[in-house]
Amino acid sequence: MRCGNGGVILVRALKPYLRQAGFVSQAPLIVSPSHAKTAYLEPLLDFFWGINETGGSAWNFAIVGFSLPPHDGYLRQAFYNLVRNYQLVELGKKYPKTRLKVVDLRQEGKQQQELKRNYRFVDWTKTDASWEGFGAEALEFLFD
């Protein structure tokens, strides 16, 4: 793994970080921080279809570097449903879930409390957080 230009992390050997070696079912999508997301996010309409039921059957879930600003109300609703379903729906002893994981660069307590206010619907007693930003340590934290 190495850090490329602009703080982009390049993972050369992804296999050790995947539970099912060699199988990737979902790739992350990075959306630019703007007030005009609705103008260019039409391809994401399928993502929001059925969002009320999504998250309950997931075995793991992480939020990486998204502050959930007030102007992203439509994403707040999606995150609310995903997190709520993930943290409330139990799959039984045969399929245990990991704790919700949050990775962000907020080293001061005041900054961490600000993020927690934005995510006030998260049950923080069922959540682990890494406040050192995204890097090699974050990958270890996420896939531990």
DSSP assigned state of 124 = G
Tell whether the model's pLDDT for residue 46 goes beyond 50: yes
Tell whether the model's pLDDT for residue 74 goes beyond 90: no
Q: How many residues does the chain have?
A: 144
> With bands split at pLDDT 50, 70 and 90, how would you rate the model's confidence at 42?
low
Q: Which of 31, 38, 41 is nearest to 68 (CA)?
A: 31
pLDDT tens column, 3-17 = 444 455 666 676 666
pLDDT of residue 9: 60
Query: What does pTM read for this prediction?
Result: 0.67
Three state DSSP letters for 51-108:
CCCCCCCCCCCEEECCCCCCCCHHHHHHHHHHHHHHHHCCCCCCCCCCCEEEECECCC
pLDDT of residue 94: 86
Q: Give the residue extent of every domain in the chain.
A: 59-144
Question: Between 74 and 4, where is the model more confident?
Answer: 74
pLDDT tens column, 89-144 = 888 888 888 899 999 999 899 999 999 999 999 999 999 999 999 988 998 899 88
Using DSSP, state whether 114 is helix, strand or coil. helix
Whether 129 and 101 have beta carbons less than 8 Å apart is answered as: yes
